[in-house]
Structure 1
């Protein structure tokens, strides 16, 4: 594989410069503080901050990395944060991203749980936590819709997603079995109908989101040529 020289690819006007370590640290802390709604909400927030607003990573690479993280044991949202942090600032970036992804939320949960244990009998507190549960549910639904619009690019992908939901929610099938079945369908489908199963089958209106970001430009320049 030919590795491009770092100066062989010009900096596009619409792609920001590589963020400094302090800028990235601030963003990971922000994501850690605002990541409500579990993995769905966390991933949606990272997509909004990293792909849509700052363009530190492109849409396709973000979803590609997310697919791999979902196959690994452990929390996929944190794994995704560690990977992107590592791409931007290598080992230090990955460590900071992974730590700040969980530390602020853990401190907030500690404070809320302590507060609840002390004042859980008060009607106002019960109403407060009831409202929080409803708000978190709304965050999760919005996150699923946001990511679904990006990842499910045609009716075949939507059908597979619906079938997977029914399999895990209605039929109670094991998650690994569902993943293997979906992978097998994708592998077979790519041979017989590659246009429907390839990553290039974008939905309408996603052209702007498909533009590359900082990490993609680093790959083009050969700065991450050794990275899988």
Structure 2
């Protein structure tokens, strides 16, 4: 928009709660493309077209969400909804970002677990899984290109890769050590731990916005200790009451109780996005609890890539398959068991994100650009790159050697992975388009075999 167009642009009309409700619902249905695509959609709709929030305020909120564990796109929607229409607005915006994806994933998880061996479905997944391997490589490349700015951060990434790939150290330990290195390094050598989580400078104006650069902070968004205490207290209760009910009625070792506890921990470790926490989910859900097998884990990520909402919604697939396979409510209620488990893990995974935004929103200004606050994040993000590379190797192993290293390599799967990687990395093709093309190629290959 030119300077003349900006100067003549009228002030946008006030937005009612229900107008915002309709938009957040629409966003939940069209939010494909992972966090980058989802943030781009919100920027286009909220900053450029509707002018609900200015460019500067939008990026400032995004930078805050980037330093939190959890899906930054969903947290950004929660933040803007909260800023516009108080706590209810934030809850509605964040919930509608997730609920359509949950419903869709429950439906397709049921189709997958029920008819996954049907030739049509098997052929589609034969093509999708090699593409997922390439997508994880692209994620490592994208995050690494932004995060690994010097040899110190490269060293942290390499150490994290060795720790999880060679020594099988737990992901939480890797995150904790990386945070400690960042904290100490930020004091001893600040220049090596600056940056990380930034999203560029403000270089565009789209006219006056409802929440403009100089719009005073509304009363409900100003910091107060009583308000902070109330948010934290309600959040703790919303976590503790369901957990206590599960423990009292089913026991601590029951699958649903363990799912609630495990995905609470996963929610607090999602620094760097969903790809970073997937190794932790794999270690727990596949290796420790046996809720699903490695092939199903890869298939779940493929489904997560092709549905709207945050990629971390793959946890709903993990919950559904775990509840279904374990027949938690008996052999006659398999779908119910899967659906309940999917809803439960979604609750425990996303609840912390709402607490972080509603409690921490008023502190945005005081934390922005503070090196003591951002240096640990920079170190964690570097470690995340190494963890994602290990995840890519894990996927490649199970896709290219479906019967193990002693078996025959699947050269067609290798070729599909390479083709997907070239499309993503060289030609910058859309993830959804790559997955769709790979699925069709997989179906064609299986039909000819």
Q: Name the TM-score, length of structure 1 as normaliser.
A: 0.62
Q: For 1:97-140, what per-residue CA distance to the aligned partner results, in whole angstroms no more than 9, with x for missing partners?
A: 33222211122123223333554343122112333334444444
* Separation of aligned partners in 2, 1:129 and 1:189: 44
CA distance in 1, matches of 2:110, 2:173: 39
Tell me: CA distance 1:63–1:139, structure 2 relative to 1, closer, same or farther (3 Å): farther
For 2:217, what is the secondary structure of its paired residue? coil
Contact map agreement 1:25 1:97 (CA 8 A) in 2: no
Counterpart for residue 394 of structure 2: none
* Closer/same/farther in 2, CA of residues 85 and 175 from structure 1, 3 Å limit: farther
For the structure 1 residues 172 and 126, does the alpha-carbon distance in structure 2 shift closer, same or farther, using more than 3 Å as the test?
Answer: same
Aligned to 1:109: 105
Q: Distance in 1 between matches of 2:82 and 2:159?
A: 34
Distance 1:173 1:181, change over 3 A: same
The answer to whether 1:173 aligns with 2:174 is: no
Unaligned runs of at least 5 residues, structure 2: 1-5, 48-52, 224-361, 364-449
Q: Please list, as runs of the form range in 1=range in 2, the aligned pairs for 1:21-170 lying within 5 A after superposition.
A: 22=19, 25-27=22-24, 29-31=26-28, 33-35=30-32, 41=34, 43-50=35-42, 55=47, 58-59=58-59, 61-70=61-70, 78-79=74-75, 81-117=77-113, 119-150=115-146, 152=147, 154-155=149-150, 156-170=152-166
Give yes or no for contact 1:35–1:45 (8 Å, CA) kept in 2.
Answer: yes
| Aligned residue pair count | 200
Cα offset, 1:148, TM superposition:
4.4
RMSD: 4.2
Q: CA deviation at 1:163?
A: 2.9
CA drift of 1:161 comes to 3.4
Equivalent position SS for 2:169:
coil
1:81 Cα deviation after fit: 4.5
Counterpart secondary structure, 2:201: coil
SS at match of 2:67: helix
Pick aligned residue for 1:193 from 178, 182, 189: 189
Of the structure 1 ranges 116-125 and 216-225, higher mean CA displacement relative to structure 2 is found in: 216-225
Relative to 1, partners in 2 of residues 1:116 and 1:170: Cα closer, same or farther, differing over 3 Å? same
Which of 180, 194, 211 matches 2:202? 211
Partner SS for 1:163:
helix
Do the aligned partners of 2:61 and 2:79 also contact (CA within 8 Å) in 1?
no
Contact 2:82–2:90 (CA under 8 A) maintained in structure 1: yes
Shift of residue 189 of structure 1? 1.9
Quote the Cα distance in structure 1 between the aligned partners of 2:12 and 2:141: 30
1:119–1:182 distance in 2 versus 1, CA, 3 Å: closer
State the alpha-carbon separation in 2 of the partners of residues 34 and 96 from structure 1: 16
TM-score, length basis structure 2: 0.36
Rg (Cα) greater in structure: 2
Q: Comparing both structures, which one devotes a greater share of its residues to helix?
A: 2
Offset at residue 28 of structure 1 (A) = 5.8
Moved over 6 A (4+): 16-19, 212-216
Q: What's the counterpart of residue 217 of structure 2?
A: 222
How many Å separate the matches in 2 of 1:49 and 1:210?
19
Alpha-carbon distance in 1 for matches of 2:143, 2:14: 24
Deviations 1:151-175 (A, max 9, x none): x162243443343333233322233
